[in-house]
Structure 1
Amino acid sequence: MNFQDLHELVRLELLRRIERGILTGSRLAQQTGFQQAHISNFLNRKRALSLEGLDRVLAAQDLRIEEILPVDLAAGAAEPSCGPETEPVELVPIVSPSSAMDDISIAASATIETIPIATSRLYENRARPSARRTHWQRFLAIRTDAQQATAMAPLLPTGSVAVLDRHYNSLAPYRANQASIYAVRLGPMLLLRHVNFDERHLILKPYVRDFPVQLLPLVANESPGDYIVGRVCTVIADV
């Protein structure tokens, strides 16, 4: 496969994400730091990206080349004597918001269903756990309800699965110029929001501008990590 073929595969994958409502051209421009016109020209085959630009797009969308290779090319990499290799997967439990907030480990009785995710995709995520979370089960998932989706559309479509990394409880930026989505405890509720911290308040920011910003005051000796359940590391829309 040459660079032009790879370029087209990435373009088509981005267009699929836009059609599903989980990405917009303006959002991609914001994530990558390109001008929106540059991204629009790329998506419409009017302008090509450099190899560095393609890397920025892949990193912004948490994409690996192996995930978008045609099946025949991916299979061709396996040794004939061994048959097609299967990448190890981890069955991530989908749980209720209350279990995500409170359960140190997820019991079978608390698992609503499971979703298979490549082990390498999970553990390539960097961890920054708070001291009280280091022994908690790291990865689990919740389904986004209408309220979550309304506040964070189109990043979190209704019914999509948000995979949480409960070993990332820090507000340190995970990627430059790209706001993370966090799962945050607000009383009995679990909210998925962008988060800032200022003057002893967590600022819970929706992606949709018309949706209200919420403030979560911290008392003495509390830190943001006491309320941040984890970082949304993957969103899967079609499950």
Structure 2
Amino acid sequence: MMRTYMKFRQLQENLRRALLDKIADRELTALGLAHLTGFKQPHITNFLNRKRSLSLDAMDRVIGVQKMSVLDLVDPQEINKRASILPPSEDDFENVLLVEGMVAAKDAIITREKVRDILKFKKSFLRRLRPSAENARNGWQRFVLIKVDAQDGMSMYPRLLPGATVLIDRHYTSLEPYRKDPNLYALRQNGGATVKYVEVSGKTLILRPHNQSYPVSILETEEGKSAADYIIGRVCHVSIET
């Protein structure tokens, strides 16, 4: 059976509905389906009545005798969404997507319509970067790019400038130092992203600018959440246009 991003349980439910529709249209009976698949009728009836599930092999057999495909069971919106994901690069360079801060903060997988630009980075460089996630990020597209706005750019001067493009490693959400210099992070703030140094004091995140003429920001964490839930990722490369 072909790979799908939908949950197996949801595929079974979609198959059940498709079979019930055929039965309602008098195109199929539970007895007829049992005969075609070689299963006993109670096996099929219990599946249709949600009293049992099918194994992967059994589901494959039902799909086969009905001349269906897994794609027939997938929500069309899900197909369109996955079809809009940019394919990986096949050369020595990786395509890294430039997106808005709110997309970097919330979207595990980034689709075409949310991409502002594509920049290429050496795969060897990206592979050398060490991840350190304190929350579940395995399913997240690891590297993204955002542009720094005027406020963040000046508050982090001279490390950043307004309009700088920063590469974010979304698999690095811990406060563990990467090198001797303080880590620079992209964080969720006001529905978007901000770039700052981060310290933790109890339940409070202290967002520090590099430029001392700008104020320190305070972010109170919600109950049950940690600093990692607010960190989009570590800034691991900065590009400033001159």
Q: TM-score range by the shorter chain?
A: 0.5 to 0.7
Which stretches in structure 2 are left out of the alignment for 5+ residues?
Answer: 1-90
Alignment partners' CA distance in 1, 2:125 and 2:158: 23
CA shift, 1:221, in A, is 1.5
CA shift, 1:134, in A, is 2.0
Q: Given the alignment, which residue of 150, 153, 157 partners 1:153?
A: 157
Q: Given the alignment, which residue of 192, 195, 202 partners 1:189?
A: 192
Q: Given the alignment, which residue of 125, 129, 133 partners 1:125?
A: 129
Q: Which residue of 2 aligns with 1:48?
A: none
Q: Given the alignment, which residue of 206, 212, 234 partners 1:203?
A: 206
Letter in 1 for 2:173: N
CA shift, 1:145, in A, is 1.4
Alignment partners' CA distance in 2, 1:156 and 1:236: 9
Letter in 2 for 1:236: S
Q: Which residue of 1 aligns with 2:145?
A: 141
Q: Which residue of 1 aligns with 2:169?
A: 165
Letter in 2 for 1:151: S
Larger Rg, first or second structure (1 or 2)? 2
CA shift, 1:148, in A, is 1.2
Alignment partners' CA distance in 2, 1:191 and 1:143: 10
Q: What are the within-5 Å matches in structure 2 for residues 1-239 of structure 1?
A: 88-176=92-180, 178-238=181-241
Give per-residue Cα distances to partners, 1:127-169, cap 9 Å, x unaligned.
0113322210000100111111111011112212100000000
Alignment partners' CA distance in 1, 2:135 and 2:151: 31
Q: Which residue of 2 aligns with 1:35?
A: none
Alignment partners' CA distance in 1, 2:227 and 2:138: 15
Give per-residue Cα distances to partners, 1:34-65, cap 9 Å, x unaligned.
xxxxxxxxxxxxxxxxxxxxxxxxxxxxxxxx
Question: Sequence identity, in percent?
Answer: 34
- In the TM superposition, structure 1's runs of 4+ consecutive aligned residues that sit over 6 Å from their partners are none
Alignment partners' CA distance in 1, 2:237 and 2:226: 25
Alignment size in residue pairs: 152
Alignment partners' CA distance in 2, 1:230 and 1:103: 13
CA shift, 1:199, in A, is 1.7
Partner secondary structure for residue 132 of structure 1: coil
CA shift, 1:124, in A, is 0.7
Which stretches in structure 1 are left out of the alignment for 5+ residues?
Answer: 1-86
Alignment partners' CA distance in 2, 1:124 and 1:173: 16
Alignment partners' CA distance in 2, 1:233 and 1:162: 7
Higher RCO (CA < 8 A, seq sep 6+) = 1
Letter in 2 for 1:144: V
